[in-house]
Structure 1
Amino acid sequence: MIPERRNADAFAIQTMTGLCVIWGIQQVAVKLAAPDIAPIMQAFGRNLIAAVLLGLWMCWRGGWEGLRQGTLKGGAVAGVLCAAEFFFIAQGLVYTSASHMAVFLYTAPIFSALALHFLLPSERLRRLQWLGIAVCFGGILLCFGGGFDLAGMDSRMLLGDFFGVLAGLSWGMTTVAVRTTRLSEAPPSLTLFYQMFVAALLLPLAAMVLGKTHEVSFTAIGVGSVLFQGVVVSFFSYFCWFWLLRRYLASNLAVFSFMTPMFGIAFGVLILGEPLSLNFVGGAVLVLAGITLVSSEQWIRRKLRR
């Protein structure tokens, strides 16, 4: 029996903070290990490890029954979109910084909210959410409009940032695929397995096309990064997230999840020494403010009434 969902307490806040730290540092881990293992090969290893662990978990605890509920088609679509997300993250990190990727990746709720507005009557956007979308896209334009030198390195960063937005779009469309197919009734472990398994199948093909399969050196940093992403991020942290969603109100948890880009920026600056421009800082603030308005609209309205 699923317990009644409640407001976030001290335990939920502490757990969410820990999860946001893990999610925030993952792009830094990819960037740190990029000289040893190409980012797209790291994405392949990460998804392969997570798929194996998820498969073993479901053999032990169950979850395969969703296969008999017509979830295969939706799972394939979600898996392809997940592979696209990791492809754009990997390629984006070749050109842009981890801190930029941490912000642009989290535009995903904006894209999913826009798509679901037209697909599901129950997901119609309210005025405050439309304001959030406008603020978010204004922030993206500010990030992109900071005087890039298109003839130099900044044009490469611009391309990487664009890949980051495409990664956010792919993640958002994955959410739409889950919400609008039989996956919405499937166990979370099966939904995750579809995504990780299909991504593990497709990413090596993309790596071969790009000629990146040979860019693998089994150093401590490279292997540690892939293990961290596969075991800690894709397996452990996602299960913790779903465990929290079954016990606490999703709107409460969503508010705290927006700490992730902040941690991503902080780790990028502290660990990798990444520079921050004023236009990016201002744009990032607008992006995060817009995402908060869209994803936490009901929570904000309740707070304003009080």
Structure 2
Amino acid sequence: MTSNRKNLDGFAVATMILLCICWGLQQVAVKIAVPIISPSMQLGLRSGLAAVLVLCLILVRRIPFSVRDGSFLPGMLAGSLFAAEFMCISIGLNYTSASHMSVFLYTAPIFTVIGLHWLIPSERMQASQWLGIISAFAGVAIAFSAAFQTNSHALNDMLIGDAFGIAGGILWAATTVAIRRSKLSEAQPTTTLLYQLLGAAVLLLLFSALKGEFQAEKFYPQDWGISIWLNLFFQTISIAFASYLTWFWLLRRYLASRLSVFSFLTPLFGVAAGVLLLDDPISPRFVLGAILVLVGIVLVNFRRN
């Protein structure tokens, strides 16, 4: 029901801009800590810590939660897809820049509307959304081609990383569609988030363990330093816990179609943060491709009611 939802006011706009800044900084925060902690370990640790915080919130606020309400199996699916998405991010950031990851990961809205178009009759795409699909895929092709301006070794690395970014976007879209098509669409936001965080924590930390990253000669929490702890704190509290819960809170009070349009700001902030904080190189061809992707995101989120 959208009757209880309202159009965006100043508070909602300001909050969405702040959320997009946080999400745009996500890849940069992970990339900064890569020399000390692998991406998979970072994302696994922050997901696990955030899951504990969500569970505490459920207990303190006495928010309804049950594994017998039909949400368990969809929750396991959503958690697995969420974990796979972040596994793609963790692998991809070893090969490509934070700026590239920000753009390719946030192709997710494009794949979401395609999935919903085929699975939910009420979500059939309009002409403007088809134009958005065309614009976004043209942008992806152009942005991908920017890698060919580098030397052969860097080319292979960047293409691998960019491909994992696209895969992450597809998995993110699959998570959204799975939630929309299941009992989770009616569940408490904390329930959905808890399943996703637990799935990411278990699978990513298992992945790190299988790679031997918890071995004594590689795992030095005592030597991380204040900057790494602050980074992990930011990723856990600001992104994995507060920002996701705030997003769900907004969805319960404002029109989702209006909120979703702001998603184009996230890769914009991500690219800017990558350039300013990590000196990520960006070519004119990548900029053109990114612009087309952003235009596509705006168009696919625009529906005439």
Using structure 1 for the length normalisation, give the TM-score. 0.92
Aligned partners of 1:139 and 1:282 also within 8 Å: yes
Q: Which residue of 1 aligns with 2:301?
A: 295
Find the aligned partners of 1:138 and 1:28 in 2 and give their Cα distance: 25
Q: Which residue of 2 aligns with 1:161?
A: 162
Question: Can you list the C-alpha shifts for 1:171-199, whole angstroms capped at 9, x where unaligned?
Answer: 10000110111111111110000010111
Paired AA for residue 274 in structure 1: D
- Pick closer, same or farther for the CA change 1:135–1:80 going to 2, 3 Å: same
Find the aligned partners of 2:134 and 2:256 in 1 and give their Cα distance: 23
Q: Which residue of 1 aligns with 2:266?
A: 260
Find the aligned partners of 1:211 and 1:124 in 2 and give their Cα distance: 46
SS in 2 for 1:65: coil
Unaligned 5+ residue runs, structure 2?
Answer: none
Q: Which residue of 2 aligns with 1:14?
A: 14
Quote the RMSD (CA, aligned, Å): 1.7
Q: Which residue of 2 aligns with 1:224?
A: 230
SS in 1 for 2:152: coil
Aligned partners of 1:20 and 1:263 also within 8 Å: yes
Using structure 2 for the length normalisation, give the TM-score. 0.93
SS in 1 for 2:7: coil
Identity among equivalent pairs (%): 48
SS in 1 for 2:15: helix
Question: Can you list the C-alpha shifts for 1:3-33, whole angstroms capped at 9, x where unaligned?
Answer: 9322112111111111111111111110011
Aligned partners of 1:66 and 1:186 also within 8 Å: no
Unaligned 5+ residue runs, structure 1?
Answer: none
Q: Does 1:179 align with 2:185?
A: no
Paired AA for residue 223 in structure 1: W
Aligned partners of 1:204 and 1:213 also within 8 Å: no
Question: Can you list the C-alpha shifts for 1:196-250, whole angstroms capped at 9, x where unaligned?
Answer: 0111111122123334334444222222222211111111111211222222221
SS in 2 for 1:87: helix
Find the aligned partners of 2:3 and 2:232 in 1 and give their Cα distance: 35
Aligned partners of 1:101 and 1:161 also within 8 Å: yes
Instruction: Write out aligned runs for 1:209-288 (5 A).
Output: 209-214=210-215, 215-217=218-220, 218-288=224-294
Find the aligned partners of 1:269 and 1:141 in 2 and give their Cα distance: 21
Aligned partners of 1:102 and 1:261 also within 8 Å: yes
Structure 1 residue 150: Cα displacement: 6.7
Aligned partners of 2:39 and 2:90 also within 8 Å: yes
Larger deviation: 123-132 or 69-78?
Answer: 123-132
